[in-house]
Structure 1
């Protein structure tokens, strides 16, 4: 019995032969014209050329969707960048250091359409120690803020800082943004924390990209450094 009967030719053998024999279809060009395939758009037979054209159209459509997604994300990033710019500008225009925290909070609410924002700052200069934003922070809350090296997004689950909000029960999702000198993810202790809250559970959901929140943290920390002892 011959080896051919023992090892019949498989589809893989044919595929490998064609892949390694680029001149095959040049020598048998008539085969390409006679190949008929099943169309993915119905059970009709189409030529190889038509099937290739359908595959190209599908690839082009997929690329168009990717481009549109990139444009949409680019536009969203531009909008966010513009809001951060306007918010930072409002902080620079504040003349009174004592008025800075209230302006920071109100402008953050209006520019980013955040329903609730709270701010606490500690270790401030004695001139500001009796102001509302410098009151009512436990040592545990300060330690918790210092333990965050990036903003926390998710549900509040009994976090003390949520009680700094005017309506804690309406906070279905929150973002906690620690404020520390220098970089957002620096090793130094935090000297404050921002709380952003929404009644929408998806607004600050866990896993949310926090790039722009980190920019807000660094800008807020830089602005509020005016309240710290010199």
Structure 2
């Protein structure tokens, strides 16, 4: 009888080892690490332990992500409620800076509003015409930008702190009018760590925050 015949027989007779359990204890296979012989049962137990450890590791990773997301949502809720309690652009900018620094541990932050007319605020202002040539490529993609800025972009957004900013997240503050995107400003977050804001990490939460802050800002603009 060939090995193929044995394999075929066992495949066609799934209850064979149930009727002959003692045989399982006599079968041996090479140990996957040191090469010595172990029983088939020992090998199965080893595989089960490995699978259990992998599942436990994946479960713990998912729990960690869920806790992190819950913490982010609680911080976002605080930000939204505090912004709603203010009635001026200065209140809005002050709350955003406070929450970003205290809750999200952001090293550097800059908010720039695009306007052609003076506003009653201490928030930095610039015309869209002057800002567009510098940041248009960064804003050309949909959603928020994460990564390293060019020298010109960093100097425009962070000014005197630009040399300390190693990575950034740029959130556009926009509205949609007649099917077109209208830029009312940007919120720039900076880190002194190179990979703190990374494109590979995704920007789903930042996009969500950008939409919320845009809506909150619009209620305060003339």
TM-score, normalization by structure 1: 0.80
Structure 2: stretches of 5+ with no match in the other structure: none
**Kept in 1: contact 2:138–2:145 (CA 8 A):** no
Q: In structure 2, which of residues 41, 48, 54 is the aligned counterpart of residue 62 of structure 1?
A: 54
Q: In structure 2, which of residues 153, 163, 171 is the aligned counterpart of residue 169 of structure 1?
A: 163
**Kept in 2: contact 1:172–1:201 (CA 8 A):** yes
Deviates more, 1:142-151 or 1:167-176: 142-151
Q: CA deviation at 1:201?
A: 0.7
**Kept in 1: contact 2:148–2:166 (CA 8 A):** yes
Where do 1:150-169 residues align within 5 Å? Answer: 150-160=143-153, 162-165=155-158, 166-169=160-163
Look up the match of 1:3: none
Look up the match of 1:192: 185
SS of the counterpart of 1:40?
A: coil
Q: CA deviation at 1:174?
A: 0.8
Structure 1: stretches of 5+ with no match in the other structure: 1-7
Q: CA deviation at 1:38?
A: 2.5
Q: In structure 1, which of residues 204, 211, 220 is the aligned counterpart of residue 213 of structure 2?
A: 220
The answer on 1:77 being equivalent to 2:103 is no
Look up the match of 1:4: none
TM superposition outliers: structure 1 runs of 4+ over 3 Å: 11-17, 23-31, 40-44, 129-132, 141-146
Residue 154 and residue 33 in structure 1: after superposition, are their counterparts in 2 closer, same or farther (change >3 A)? same
SS of the counterpart of 1:194?
A: strand
Which of these two proteins has the greater Rg computed from alpha carbons?
A: 1
TM-score, normalization by structure 2: 0.83
**Bigger fraction of residues in strand:** 2
